[in-house]
């Protein structure tokens, strides 16, 4: 059911009751009350309720409805708002627009409370009833028993009032918003149940899958590898640009070692040069894979992966250029990981590209430049 359909159903089923009550005011609701004295407090509440309908005073209609209805509208508002927000954040893009229409998101978007929602569902009242609808609606009887009162019209219509927080309140709208005849609301709640179930199931599947043809599966592979210390599994999920940078870092490491041996044949001098620049690990680099392992073991990527056994994928958002952003929650902290799909259909992690450049490639390049300057012949003054 789309947003337009929900509004149509709400108006059709809710306003049918309003036409009936508005007719009471138009016809003079107290003409049938002359035979015996009726409870003035109940009649006053009845009159105020009808006056609110005539004036389209939704604030007054809300105030004159039972507190139980207020509570139900608060619960409905919160649930409706929450489900719509989760769809916008977590639902697959291909199904998002259709699902938001099924949830009538435009209704909940313009409200900020249960009271706002109550009033939004009462919009566009129908025109006042004509003369045929006005006959037989005078009050014929009023029965008050403890905290409950029943107003009966000459046409046999029954209207209930209850004492709620020291005030007589009409249960008409309370019954309407919870009654079996309100099929549009039942359909909306069924849609919310289905969507919430889909979201919960998707979260479980996203948390457990390691299918790398899905961004959440690729990220889960990294989470599991981090937990069990399988660093080279993480290497396999890195983007091509990242592995190329690691290969470049390994090549530069070899160049630096070769030039250091040529200019500093003594081992102590060789090692001192590297230690001064926190590059002693360069001596152990063989290729891109070994460079990644060294950087991982020395904590160079720790700030990027604040992962633990409690880390769970929260959602996957669309990224730039067809990529994706995977949100991971660890306790109260949220981390974002940027993924991009390869030609083979597998998703890869992009976030380490800048880190590899900053902690490996650029420091080695600076060391090579320093070595070049140190070995350059000094200029002579003629």
348 pairs with which residues across the strands?
Answer: 340
How far, in whole angstroms, is CA 357 from its chain's centroid?
Answer: 34
Q: What is the DSSP code string of 295-349?
A: HHHTTTTTTT----TT-EEEEEEE-GGG-EEEEEEETTEEEEEEEEE-TTS-EEE
Structure tokens at 40: 């003035």
340: left (phi over 0), alpha (psi -120 to 50) or beta: beta
Q: Which helix (H) or strand (E) holds 177?
A: helix 172-178
Q: Is residue 59 packed enough to be buried (19+ CB in 10 Å), middle (13-18) or exposed (0-12)?
A: exposed
Q: 212 and 346 in contact (C-beta within 8 Å)?
A: yes
Give tens-digit pLDDT for 103-118: 999 999 999 999 999 9
pLDDT of residue 181: 57
Q: 179 and 72 in contact (C-beta within 8 Å)?
A: no
Sheet with strand 158-163: strands edge to edge: 139-145, 148-153, 158-163, 168-170
118 pairs with which residues across the strands?
Answer: none
Query: What distance in Å separates the CA atoms of residue 131 and residue 138, rounded to the nearest whole number?
Result: 14
In which residue ranges of the chain is pLDDT below 50? 1-36, 124-126, 128-130, 134, 378-382
Q: What is the CA radius of gyration of the chain?
A: 36
Query: What distance in Å separates the CA atoms of residue 275 and residue 86, rounded to the nearest whole number?
Result: 51
Q: 197 and 105 in contact (C-beta within 8 Å)?
A: no
Q: Angle at CA 273, nearest 5°, toward 269 and 274?
A: 120
Query: What distance in Å separates the CA atoms of residue 189 and residue 177, rounded to the nearest whole number?
Result: 12
Q: Which residues contact 45 (CB under 8 A, 6 or more apart)?
A: 64, 161, 167, 168, 169, 170
Helix (H, G, I), strand (E, B) or coil at 236: coil
pLDDT of residue 134: 47
Q: Angle at CA 352, nearest 5°, toward 347 and 356?
A: 140
Query: What distance in Å separates the CA atoms of residue 365 and residue 117, rounded to the nearest whole number?
Result: 62
Q: Which residues contact 122 (CB under 8 A, 6 or more apart)?
A: 14, 58, 61
In total, the chain counts a number of residues equal to 382
pLDDT of residue 17: 46
Q: 278 and 363 in contact (C-beta within 8 Å)?
A: yes
For residue 203, CA distances in Å to 32, 198, 222, 313 come to 62, 9, 17, 7
Give tens-digit pLDDT for 353-366: 999 999 999 999 99
Its pTM stands at: 0.50
Handedness of CA 236, 241, 246, 250 (dihedral sign): positive
Structure tokens at 194: 């289905």
pLDDT of residue 245: 95
What is the number of other CB atoms lying within 10 angstroms of the CB of residue 214? 21
pLDDT of residue 11: 43
Helix (H, G, I), strand (E, B) or coil at 359: helix
Candidates 160, 194, 201; CA nearest to 69 is 160
How far, in whole angstroms, is CA 104 from its chain's centroid?
Answer: 16
pLDDT of residue 360: 94
Q: 46 and 170 in contact (C-beta within 8 Å)?
A: yes
Q: 20 and 157 in contact (C-beta within 8 Å)?
A: yes
């Amino acid at each position: 059911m789309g947003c337009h359909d929900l509004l149509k159903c709400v108006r059709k089923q809710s306003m049918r009751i309003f036409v009936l009550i508005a007719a009471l005011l138009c016809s003079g609701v107290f003409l049938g009350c002359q035979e015996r004295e009726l409870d003035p407090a109940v009649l006053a509440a009845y009159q105020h309720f009808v006056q609110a309908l005539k004036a389209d005073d939704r604030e007054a209609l809300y105030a004159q409805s039972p507190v139980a209805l207020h509570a139900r509208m608060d619960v409905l508002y919160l649930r409706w708002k929450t489900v719509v927000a989760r769809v916008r954040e977590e639902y697959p893009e291909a199904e998002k627009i259709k699902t938001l229409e099924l949830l009538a998101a435009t209704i909940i978007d313009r409200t900020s409370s249960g009271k706002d929602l109550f009033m939004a569902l009462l919009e566009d009242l129908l025109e006042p009833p004509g003369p045929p609808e006005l006959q037989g609606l005078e009050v014929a009887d009023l029965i008050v028993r403890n905290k409950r009162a029943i107003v009966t019209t000459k046409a046999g219509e029954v209207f209930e009032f209850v004492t709620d927080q020291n005030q007589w309140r009409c249960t008409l709208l309370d019954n309407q918003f919870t009654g079996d005849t309100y099929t549009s609301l039942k359909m909306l709640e069924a849609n919310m149940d289905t969507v919430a179930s889909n979201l919960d199931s998707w979260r479980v599947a996203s948390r457990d899958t390691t299918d790398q043809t899905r961004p959440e599966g690729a990220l889960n592979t990294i989470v599991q590898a981090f937990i069990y210390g399988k660093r080279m599994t993480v290497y396999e999920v890195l983007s091509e640009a990242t592995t190329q940078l690691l290969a470049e870092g390994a090549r530069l490491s070899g160049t630096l070692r070769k030039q250091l041996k040529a200019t500093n044949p003594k081992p102590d001098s060789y090692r001192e040069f590297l230690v001064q620049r926190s590059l002693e690990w360069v001596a152990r680099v063989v290729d891109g894979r070994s460079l990644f392992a060294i950087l991982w073991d020395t904590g160079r990527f720790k700030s990027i992966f604040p992962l633990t056994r409690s880390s769970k994928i929260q959602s996957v958002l669309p990224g730039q250029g067809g990529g994706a952003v995977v949100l991971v929650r660890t306790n109260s902290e949220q981390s974002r990981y940027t993924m991009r799909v390869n030609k083979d259909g597998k998703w890869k992690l992009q976030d380490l590209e800048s880190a590899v450049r900053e902690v490996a490639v650029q420091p080695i390049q600076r060391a090579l430049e320093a070595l070049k300057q140190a070995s350059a012949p000094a200029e002579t003054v003629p």
